[in-house]
């Protein structure tokens, strides 16, 4: 680990996938702590899992990293939450080139809002390249198998949601 900084990894995590998990584990090689910050917006909430369920899944997945990986949630601006938590770096994963424009815009806007907060991009692992929470939900809802793409506890909860 190169430093004692805290990184914040924001997202919807509806649900957390193995792509997210891989990114957190690789972030831990560089930063002392990672906050997995679940963004909530009660006015536009169309998530499959409740906030409580998402927090639980993240906590279960990273139970072995207690003290270094923390799950929490926030409403409002990410930059404000990062400041409240003492995070100096935002982590985001890049999959295909199609992610780039959206991510670039967010990073620029966050930089404008809080220039001292850096955004670090990491390439997702090759086996997670095509995985997204949205696709995982769609495949499971249509009876497809996503084992290996999400942690085991998430797989069980996904199947329960869709009563499979
Ligand atoms: O998993 P997602 O949906 O790609 O995550 C997007 C997220 C939560 C990182 C982004 O929407 C966000 O930061 N929301 C918090 C509100 C905010 O700060 N908006 C301005 C971003 S430039």
pLDDT digits 0-9 by tens, 53-80: 999 999 999 999 989 999 999 999 999 9
Q: Which of 51, 31, 38 is nearest to 12 (CA)?
A: 38
Q: Could you tell me the two tokens for 58?
A: 């993240």
* Residue 147 is among the residues annotated as catalytic for this protein: no
Phi/psi at 127 (nearest 5 deg)? -75, -15
Of the residues 25, 95, 114, 161, only one is catalytic, namely 95
| Active-site residue, 95 included | yes
Structure token pair of residue 1: 């680990």
pLDDT in tens, 85-107: 999 999 999 988 888 999 999 99
Residue to mutate (ligand 1; options 7, 9, 11; most atoms within 8 A of CB)? 11
What's the rounded mean pLDDT across residues 107-123? Answer: 97
With the most atoms of ligand 1 within 8 angstroms of its CB, the residue from 7, 8, 10, 84 to mutate is 10
| Burial of residue 35 (number of CB atoms within 10 Å: 0-12, 13-18, 19+) | buried
In this prediction the pTM is: 0.96
CA of 163 to the centre of ligand 1 (A): 30
Give the neighbor-by-neighbor strand order of the sheet with 69-74.
69-74, 33-39, 6-11, 89-94, 118-123
- What average pLDDT does the chain have? 94
Q: At what angle do helices 152-161 and 51-61 cross, to 10 degrees?
A: 150
CB 15 within 8 A of CB 146: no
């Amino acid at each position: 680990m190169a430093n004692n900084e805290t990184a914040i990894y924001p997202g919807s995590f509806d649900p957390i996938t193995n792509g997210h998990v891989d990114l957190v584990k690789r972030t831990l090689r560089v930063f002392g702590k990672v906050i997995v910050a679940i963004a909530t917006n009660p006015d536009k909430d169309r998530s499959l899992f409740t906030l409580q369920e998402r927090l639980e899944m993240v906590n279960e997945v990273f139970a072995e990293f207690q003290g270094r990986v923390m799950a929490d949630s926030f409403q409002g601006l990410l930059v404000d939450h990062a400041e409240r938590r003492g995070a100096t770096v935002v982590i985001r994963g890049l999959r295909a080139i199609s992610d780039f424009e959206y991510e670039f815009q967010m990073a620029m806007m966050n930089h404008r809002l809080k220039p001292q907060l850096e955004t670090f991009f990491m390439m997702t692992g090759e086996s997670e390249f095509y995985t997204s929470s949205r696709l995982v939900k769609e495949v499971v809802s249509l009876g497809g198998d996503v084992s290996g793409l999400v942690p085991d506890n998430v797989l069980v909860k996904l199947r329960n949601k869709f009563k499979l």
